[in-house]
């Protein structure tokens, strides 16, 4: 039985984790399926954006505790490495990934959402890093990405207390971009379609400039931005985009 359904709507892909009986908990099969999805997406030159969500009432309620309970330290490190590598690959993928958080995004689920480029929170979304309740710490990047998103003190609060935050608090602290009152997947799809209409090379360079320089000093970040800005002027998309603006018509970007 598949643990990940992949649908394609035009230039947008929907990746839906399908283990609702386990609240879409992350096990080796789910991680492998997501790695394979990244592999396919990296070869898909027509793809412009991805929406990631979960089936049922959870986005991802965490890593699979039953699968982890009897791991040795070496096995735990390998499991964490696989999860961390997935997050890094999400960030390096040349198209944006939008997390449509429809319910619980806890532990590994919160970490998976933070690996996405944009996080939209549905009305029932719950975020948290409750690993301390199990006698462990986040292993898929939670202690690192959370502090980069919400700051040190809030990251300490969430990771040490294990408490959950709702959509409103997640937006306030910067964990999510915005709260969606209706269908969060439909809202994510609408956003993905909007992004798909933009210059693909420019979108890719925006993602690269931000992810690769988020922790750099300002001068380093500005130098990287300047270089990528200049590279845009070697593309057909730049010629098309600026020509279309001056001609007062819709641009027909090709991603070249």
In residues, how long is the chain? 256
Structure confidence at residue 194 (pLDDT): 97
What domains lie within the chain, and their CATH numbers?
Answer: 4-196 (3.90.226.10), 200-247 (1.10.12.10)
Residue 96 zone, left/alpha/beta (φ > 0; ψ -120 to 50; rest): beta
Catalytic residue of the set 46, 77, 91, 111? 111
CA distances for 212 relative to 2, 132, 197, 228, angstroms: 33, 30, 24, 12
Instruction: Determine the Cα–Cα distance for residues 192 and 8; give it in Å rounded to an integer.
Output: 12
Residue 174, phi-psi category: left (phi > 0), alpha (psi -120 to 50), beta (remainder) = left
Q: What is the pLDDT along the chain (256 residues), one digit of tens a residue?
A: 799 999 999 999 999 999 999 999 999 999 999 999 999 999 999 999 999 999 999 999 998 999 999 999 999 999 999 999 999 999 999 999 999 999 999 999 999 999 999 999 999 999 999 999 999 999 999 999 999 999 999 999 999 999 999 999 999 999 999 999 999 999 999 999 999 999 999 999 999 999 999 999 999 999 999 999 999 999 999 999 999 999 999 999 999 9
- Tokens 């990296």 -> residue: 42
Alpha carbon distance 225, 24 (integer Å): 38
Q: What are 33-38's contacts with CB under 8 Å, separation 24+?
A: 33/2, 33/3, 33/4, 34/4, 34/86, 35/82, 35/85, 35/86, 35/89, 37/4, 37/6, 38/86, 38/89, 38/90, 38/93
pLDDT (0 to 100) of residue 228 = 97
b or e along 168-203 (b: 16 or more beta carbons within 10 Å of the residue's beta carbon)? ebbbebebbbebbeeebbebbbebbbebbebbbbbb
From 46, 77, 91, 131, the catalytic residue = 131
At 246 the pLDDT is 97
Q: Which residues pair with 105 in a beta bridge?
A: 60, 127
240 catalytic, yes or no? no
The span from the CA of 234 to the CA of 172, in Å, is 39
Strands (E), the chain: 4-9, 12-17, 49-54, 58-60, 97-101, 104-106, 118-121, 126-128, 164-166, 178-179
Q: Which residues does 159 contact at the CB level (< 8 Å), separation at least 6?
A: 129, 131, 132, 137, 138, 142, 143, 146
Q: What is the pLDDT of residue 6?
A: 97
- Catalytic residue check, 111: yes
Asked if 16 contacts 55 with a C-beta cutoff of 8 angstroms, the reply is: yes
Q: For the beta carbon of residue 10, count every other beta carbon within 10 angstroms.
A: 13
pTM of full prediction above 0.75: yes
Residue 197 is predicted with a pLDDT of 96
pLDDT of residue 175: 97
Task: Kindly calculate the radius of gyration of the chain based on its CA atoms and give it in whole angstroms.
Answer: 19
pLDDT of residue 1: 72
């Amino acid at each position: 039985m598949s643990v990940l359904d992949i649908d394609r709507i035009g230039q947008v892909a929907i990746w839906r984790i399908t283990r609702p009986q386990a609240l879409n908990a992350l096990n080796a099969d789910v991680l492998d399926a997501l790695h394979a999805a990244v592999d396919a997406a990296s070869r898909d030159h027509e793809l412009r954006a991805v929406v990631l969500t979960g089936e049922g009432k959870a986005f991802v309620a965490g890593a699979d505790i039953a699968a982890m309970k009897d791991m040795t330290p070496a096995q735990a490190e390998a499991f964490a490495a696989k999860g961390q590598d997935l997050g890094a690959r999400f960030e390096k993928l040349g198209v944006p990934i939008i997390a449509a958080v429809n319910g619980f995004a806890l532990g590994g689920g919160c970490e998976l959402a933070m690996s996405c480029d944009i996080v939209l929170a549905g009305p029932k979304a719950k975020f948290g890093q409750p690993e301390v309740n199990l006698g462990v710490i986040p292993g898929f990047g939670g202690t690192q990405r959370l502090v980069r998103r919400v700051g040190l003190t809030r990251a300490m609060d969430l990771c040490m207390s294990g408490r959950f935050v709702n959509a409103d608090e997640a937006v306030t602290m910067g964990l999510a971009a915005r709260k969606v009152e209706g269908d969060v997947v439909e809202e994510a799809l609408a956003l993905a379609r909007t992004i798909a209409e933009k210059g693909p090379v420019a979108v890719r360079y925006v993602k690269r400039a931000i992810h690769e320089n988020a922790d750099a000093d300002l001068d380093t970040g500005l130098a990287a931005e300047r270089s990528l800005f200049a590279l845009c002027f070697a593309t057909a998309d730049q010629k098309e985009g600026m020509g279309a603006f001056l001609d007062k018509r819709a641009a027909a970007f090709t991603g070249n």
